[in-house]
Structure 1
């Protein structure tokens, strides 16, 4: 087992490449990453070590306490280094810029990690001084350099153009195909073709233009960059260094950067080109969706007769806890709140009847589609540990209640999209039955592997192990969640492979689509078969993936229509909290370019979720802080985020309670009950009225739902102005995250009107000489429409 020790006194001095102590990298071409709480445990390029002379080095800029391991992208045991063992996380407190130095003699051998002042100088980062190299220009969002714009259907020819001062010997377009498999840790490009660019005259005096075209005849996510030779030296004209939230690959596309070509071409930052099926369609109704996102156990207790009762209901082989009052906080074991030592076994009593009772509320709010986390039978309060896919959990109601919910929602013009995982089940389930709470026959009856079970093929069982915990694979090591063998033909038939499959059954009972949990952990060929089955059964069913990173590979027309848009969430929350507009634009423009328009307009644009702290928490309103100034500022920032969300392409998503100021930090605090007044809560009715005003605005203006998004019209430090077009209808949306009003001047897009109405009832505005002057209020903005 690999070992790791820490020394916080300072990193060892760097050795030069010519030093006699220098040795080859002990792990060869294996790349190591810091993977922890600072990056959601992902293998991100920003956290990749570089080997120099005698050790692996990483410059890092962090603050606060973080847990992490050092590991390769695949979490290979031999190259995963924890604190003293493979399994124990390392913990360090950071305070700004540091250099981490990892000294390791080989895979599976002890390693030493030291943290000290920033001292590592990247030998490949020396500035470029060659004027010809510095003059190289390519911009993937500029028609003068690349057309057509963005994602394109299979069979499209794309034209590329690079400009530079005279002196370039050769420019080659390098086309590479990305491996599409599993999570983003599987990141691999294979060179497909090298296309020489032809030299020609530029429209700009004293400049040369190099052009080439390439036809993309297969769907996929393609990488491309330019190999440029100048005076015998090779340069990479490549993607920029922007960080995209949750995404391993760096670069937001747009204007290229030039760097010396690295020896290891895997370090090149590719531009990405999405090529999707020519017949890729999403349901027509998807672009008009306003989601209401419900965690059913915490929304509304409509039938107290089905509440889980201590001494009667059980959580695996333990007791359950029932909160004495609807208005309270979820229990956190070990926090001193009086709860037991078990997570996710505390209940408030929310159920399907509660949702049915509040359908009119949801409609009046302006939402027209309900997404609810799992409602199938399960031991926990979150229900991702499925016990029986074919039964609604008794604490939520019955199968008939689900059908009644869908029918009553439809009467009000509301659709219902449920959630489930086809990646894992609960250890306490009819399929596994580790605790004997179901009839005999599970794959783990009696807490031992049961290879005779009809469901044995669903799991990876190893009865030769003495320890029961080692006899099966838990998803990401969690033994409460036995991971399903998604290659099992029997499981695939059960899930979707027959007209009476699980997916089809619940669509027939009234569901309008599916949101699928932990999609990246399920093989891509599974999702291809799954989509074909779903669309054959109900063509207008909406398919939504849970992905957090750049989801381009799911939008090729063969798997999903949409995703939970965590890139949008993080980028918008950081900006509304005072961040610079450029960072927001980088993240949003990446999606505008990489995602097919039909998927881009169907994205589930959320601000809060049951997996992340609520937006007001992000904006500074923590726990029960009742400081009036803090609360007021947090709500102002949330209102700004709402305005942006409701006027941007994609489906705005309201997490239950956000609309009335429900606070909540990290899980499980983000799952507090909705503060209904008749249960003793104090909903913020002023916020509720504002949300209704914004949803009304969105529904009233098709251009805000379906209009094409133009390139940003203005990007300031604190301001951002965007343009939309739908036929003859136009919209200009302008935002300001500063704590004071700001005036901006914006050129009206070609073909747009000169007279504009305020969509929220403010004063009309007219352009003068093709330019608008707008006063943007502090922490808010304006939405203008015209034709």
Structure 2
């Protein structure tokens, strides 16, 4: 028996040695490869990092259904990016996505051949990742920093340029030998594709006695506006470490870390792996319109809200501009309450997306302004209303004309005027990043007059591009891609970048994110910039002159920063109190430096609140929300467009499981609305949410409002609750203007927040559990230890604190507002 065991051991040893001999160096060197796709919002997240083992890269993944993704490093480096080859398989530099189907836990194995070709297999869970080496250095582990504690950092949060910031770290055990404060400037462009930190300063920190341990301190003056990174390099007898941001994931955001208490790890060889704290430094004169923090938005997809004028409805074969979609007829719904068409679902529609119409228009909005006013909204955000062939209108055909299916320019002016009478401002939306292929600017389908360039005296044509070189383009003339052919004589030719050497017309120009229906504009072209915002009658000025109270700008990250800086100056010069809102989905600090935008569509808020109201961790929600409180200037933080539903994401009711338990989904919806109305920023109600309109991914999130006179069944009880919560916000200035401090309590189910405006306080508490919860909180400094609070929602029995502690009992899926 002993001999057999020894023989087996010897054979295993030989097999292991043979296997080790077969191992090869990692073909991608020390680069880290991540799975980046819909399963993780395309982020380079640590939990989706492949580990190289012997001859292949491995990743354990838990997912369900068909998933689309790419394999890439943090920077989407070309040679390190594997996309789809058209059949869903990995190919280096592939433009498409890799597609695989999952049903639970799996192991992915990626092998890369010497010629660079790749093979990806998906099998049962079988890989055991190498565990990280444990950190045992007690001195390093006991070293502390907290970006929200004034004992470690002053002042708190975003600051104006010229601010001196003091930093302190320390521990309660001896042995911390040295500490260095590292200051870096963040460089970020696009939709986070490029993100890097440029070193600015390494500041030796000054030691000071701290009980049994040692503290270190340093100061740094931030003279210029920007987003900075900072962290600490510390040294003990056992080596050097990074005292850095935590590992909290921030929704949609490439960088990890919600700030607050620091974590410590061994100093990595590649400093790109350090998780920086972020410090926002904004212009000293950064101002946001004062009215922004008092806003409650009503957010409308106009084609689906209300049909007020059936005469302008798109109709197949009608012969009018609104009756055609590019080179064919539109589709028209027979009934207002039908589901939107989606090609490939067997609903009887054609193969085109976004060409089906119900007939919503500006007259319908005007007709329902009293309804919007009664809801409590005082701002109307409209997705694009300018002429375009699609139902969503982001494929602009004429920036200076209201789409004929929506009405006329006079109707827009009338909408703004009628809204103003009711105290409602109107914020239109457009994209200055791309236009429609079916537009006079591009004219791929020859639906606009083709350009006939004037001939020179000898009968020859002028040089290419001459028509565009004269500056501002004319309102008439041929497009830059007339009938699918490059037209260098078009007055719009310089607006686009062409590749005439390509044979395929779809490849002769750049479609935004590869969509050929949306030709991307050259944002650096002077002629385009003049038309967009520099000219006295530019697109930007044209609609501000006609009643718009500001602008929401589509796909802001794809437009250069210097464009937005000039654009903001033009907006504020025309109308100083105009509000500028960006469409960004991630940590938007770089847009709030005082030179680009006032606000953004707050998708971090959306995901944090929806997930919390759906029953996920209150601590996770608090981490994401606290990141914004610390990173954003207060004037921008108080103006954020706080969303729940949008035309680009499934509606809130769908998120809460409308198809499984509709009554409970509506209770969770009201919990999220309660949070909206009691949190800093501008609550945003997507049309129909208030009456129980649901719907999943596009196009079902763009369904028609269920008007009763059109056969719909609006939930009137839900509407009353929405109105009650909106009214609460309007009645209590502390909910709109009050400062927000760190959470008084955050656990898996309960969040308790404190707001202060002068001598007025409001404590807001929420419970996402299906069971009642009772918690005790310590009152914030500034409140008497025996403070007495009134229930602002129902005026019930007042609550009395005892010795600085307050006991709160919360019903299931409910919220509480206590005022003093």
Q: Normalising to structure 2: TM-score of the pair?
A: 0.90
- Between 480-489 and 227-236, the greater mean CA deviation after superposition: 227-236
Q: Distance in 2 between matches of 1:676 and 1:142?
A: 51
Q: Distance in 2 between matches of 1:534 and 1:103?
A: 53
Q: Distance in 2 between matches of 1:118 and 1:670?
A: 39
Is 1:191 matched up with 2:193? no
How far 1:39 sits from its partner (Å)?
A: 2.6
- 1:93-242 correspondence to structure 2 within 5 Å: 93-105=101-113, 109-117=117-125, 119-122=127-130, 125-164=132-171, 165-202=173-210, 205-242=211-248
Spell out structure 1 runs of 4+ moving beyond 6 A: none
- Between 769-778 and 135-144, the greater mean CA deviation after superposition: 769-778
Q: Distance in 2 between matches of 1:541 and 1:118?
A: 58
Q: 1:269 aligns with which of 260, 269, 275?
A: 275
Q: Secondary structure at the match of 2:534?
A: coil
Distance 1:451 1:29, change over 3 A: farther
- 1:264-663 correspondence to structure 2 within 5 Å: 264-312=270-318, 313-440=323-450, 441-622=478-659, 630-663=661-694
Q: 1:748 aligns with which of 747, 772, 779?
A: 779
Q: Distance in 2 between matches of 1:43 and 1:496?
A: 36
Question: Cα deviation per residue 1:533-577 (whole Å; 9 max; x = unaligned)?
Answer: 111111111010101111111111110110100011111111111
Q: Assess if the C-alpha contact under 8 Å between 2:376 and 2:727 holds in 1.
A: yes
Q: Distance in 2 between matches of 1:470 and 1:588?
A: 42
Give the structure 2 partner of residue 758 of structure 1: 791
Q: Secondary structure at the match of 1:663?
A: coil
How far 1:662 sits from its partner (Å)?
A: 0.6
Q: Distance in 1 between matches of 2:201 and 2:52?
A: 30
How far 1:207 sits from its partner (Å)?
A: 2.2
Q: Assess if the C-alpha contact under 8 Å between 2:676 and 2:683 holds in 1.
A: yes
Give the paired residue count. Answer: 764
Q: Assess if the C-alpha contact under 8 Å between 1:27 and 1:107 holds in 2.
A: no
Could you tell me which runs of 5 or more consecutive residues in structure 1 were left unpaired when the two chains were aligned: 1-13
Q: Secondary structure at the match of 1:226?
A: strand
Root-mean-square deviation (CA, aligned residues, Å) is: 2.0
How far 1:77 sits from its partner (Å)?
A: 7.0
Question: Cα deviation per residue 1:109-153 (whole Å; 9 max; x = unaligned)?
Answer: 334445552635346x21101111111111111111111111111
How far 1:741 sits from its partner (Å)?
A: 1.3
How far 1:603 sits from its partner (Å)?
A: 0.4
Q: Secondary structure at the match of 2:272?
A: helix
Q: Distance in 2 between matches of 1:235 and 1:448?
A: 60
Is 1:35 matched up with 2:36? yes
Distance 1:559 1:402, change over 3 A: same
Give the structure 2 partner of residue 689 of structure 1: 720
Q: Distance in 2 between matches of 1:120 and 1:457?
A: 55
Distance 1:95 1:134, change over 3 A: farther
Q: Assess if the C-alpha contact under 8 Å between 2:257 and 2:275 holds in 1.
A: yes
Distance 1:536 1:20, change over 3 A: farther
Q: Distance in 1 between matches of 2:618 and 2:39?
A: 22
How far 1:180 sits from its partner (Å)?
A: 3.4
Question: Cα deviation per residue 1:689-727 (whole Å; 9 max; x = unaligned)?
Answer: 011111110001110001000110011221110000011
Q: Assess if the C-alpha contact under 8 Å between 1:389 and 1:502 holds in 2.
A: yes
Q: Assess if the C-alpha contact under 8 Å between 1:309 and 1:320 holds in 2.
A: yes
Q: Distance in 1 between matches of 2:383 and 2:561?
A: 23
Q: Secondary structure at the match of 1:285?
A: helix
Q: Distance in 2 between matches of 1:673 and 1:126?
A: 56
Give the structure 2 partner of residue 781 of structure 1: 815
- Between 657-666 and 225-234, the greater mean CA deviation after superposition: 225-234
Give the structure 1 partner of residue 475 of structure 2: none
Give the structure 1 partner of residue 4 of structure 2: none
Q: Assess if the C-alpha contact under 8 Å between 2:639 and 2:682 holds in 1.
A: yes
Q: Secondary structure at the match of 1:528?
A: helix
Question: Cα deviation per residue 1:299-325 (whole Å; 9 max; x = unaligned)?
Answer: 000000000011121100121111111
Could you tell me which runs of 5 or more consecutive residues in structure 2 were left unpaired when the two chains were aligned: 1-14, 451-477
How far 1:215 sits from its partner (Å)?
A: 0.8
Question: Cα deviation per residue 1:728-762 (whole Å; 9 max; x = unaligned)?
Answer: 11100000001121111122222225121111123
Q: Distance in 1 between matches of 2:219 and 2:114?
A: 46
Question: Cα deviation per residue 1:398-441 (whole Å; 9 max; x = unaligned)?
Answer: 00000000000000000000000011110000100000111111
Is 1:679 matched up with 2:685? no
Q: Distance in 1 between matches of 2:180 and 2:607?
A: 36
Give the structure 1 partner of residue 82 of structure 2: 80
